[in-house]
Structures are given as C-alpha cells and as structure tokens.
Amino acid sequence: MSDHKLSSRLFSTRIDIPTDVRVQVVSILNQTLAATLDLKTQTKQAHWNVKGTDFYQLHELFDELAGELEEYVDLVAERITALGGYALGTARIAASNSILPEFPFEAIDGKEHVTALADRFAPYAKHIRDAIAKTNDLGDADTADIYTEISRTIDKRLWFLEAHLQASPAKADNGAATTTKTQKTAAVR
C-alpha cells in the first residue's frame, strides 16, 4: 500500500468531524509527524556529535530539545489515530516526507550545530503556524489547539538557539565595549 493510500485511509470513529475534513487534517498531521520525527533525529545528531568549549551546555540543551520533540511526535500521532487516521511514523517515511533539509554532517563545533538546528527549527515553526491556520480554517479547533501548544514551545526553543548566535551589539570587532552617544553625553556632564 502506498503512503498516499495510507494517509487518506480512515477508520470509523464517532468523532463528529466530517470525513472529508478528517482526511485533510490527517494529511496535515502526517506531514507534521514526518517533520517532527526528522527534527528530533537531527537534534539527536547534534546532541551526539557536538564538540568544543560549550560541549556540555549544548549537549544537555540538544537532549532536552529532542525530548520535547519526542513528546510532540506522540501527541501528533495520537491525534491522527483519534481522528480515525493512520499515523505514518517510520524513519523511512519521515525522511521521505519531511519538509526539512538534511543535517550537515560536517558540523563539529557548537556554533555549527546551533546554526544547523536554528536553520531547521525556523521552517518547522513556520509549518506549525501554517498548520494552526489550516486546521482552524477546517473547523478542527482541537487540532489547531495542539498546534498552538507546539508552536509556543518551538518558538521559545528557536529563541534559545538564536540567542547562542547573537553577539552583543555593544561590542566592537575587537571585543572592546563601544561608547554610545548617550554614554558620551553622560560622561561630559
């Protein structure tokens, strides 16, 4: 049976969402399942392989991120089956259906891994926000609520990753603090 046939296969349920809506929502959820599984395994790839002075901090952060993603894998898969759908959650299906690019295997130090993950969390976050709108438009408030829950955490985690990549704007190229116009004015007084 092809993935397409499985993704549109519905089992009977007493949930009062029309069949045509459930088919569409299950399809969206299966896309999310693939991306979430892929993002989780890419995050574990970073967890296992990060090196450098921030090793321990990033190793722990990446493991925490992967754990949260694992919870979302289960949440999404169970919503699919609650709607009478068939959850497509094998590694092969996830890899072939994910919206995310492959992890850069040349990444070694912490900054490279953080950048790679931020570059994957951002499109994942967009996918989740798009899914909120789509499932809401389809009239499935419960699924939209699940996506909203995921979105809040993913946006926060993207912020955590990006914070590692942002330098202080008050630092010059040589690392010395720069003097702002306000500081100069205060010093003259």
Is the four-CA dihedral 113, 114, 115, 121 of positive or negative sign? positive
4: in domain? no
Domain CATH number, residue 69: 1.20.1260.10
Q: Which domain holds residue 93?
A: 17-165
When divided into structural domains, the chain yields a total of 1
180: in domain? no
Phi, psi angles (nearest 5°) of residue 23:
-60, -45
Q: What is the pLDDT of residues 40-71, one digit of tens each?
A: 999 999 999 999 999 999 999 999 999 999 99
The residue behind tokens 């438009």 is: 137
Q: What is the DSSP letter of 189?
A: -
The residue behind tokens 């704007």 is: 169
What's the whole-model pTM score?
0.85
pLDDT band at 167 (very low <50, low <70, confident <90, very high): confident
48: in domain? yes
pLDDT in the model for residue 98? 96
175: in domain? no
Burial label for 185, CB within 10 Å (0-12, 13-18, 19+), is exposed
Q: What is the pLDDT of residues 67-122, one digit of tens each?
A: 999 999 999 999 999 999 999 999 999 999 999 999 999 999 999 999 999 999 99
Taking residues 165-188, report their average pLDDT: 52
30: in domain? yes
12: in domain? no
Q: What does 42-53 look like in DSSP terms, one character per residue?
A: HHHHHHHH-BST
CA distance 69 to 64: 9
182: in domain? no
CA distance 124 to 155: 10
10: in domain? no
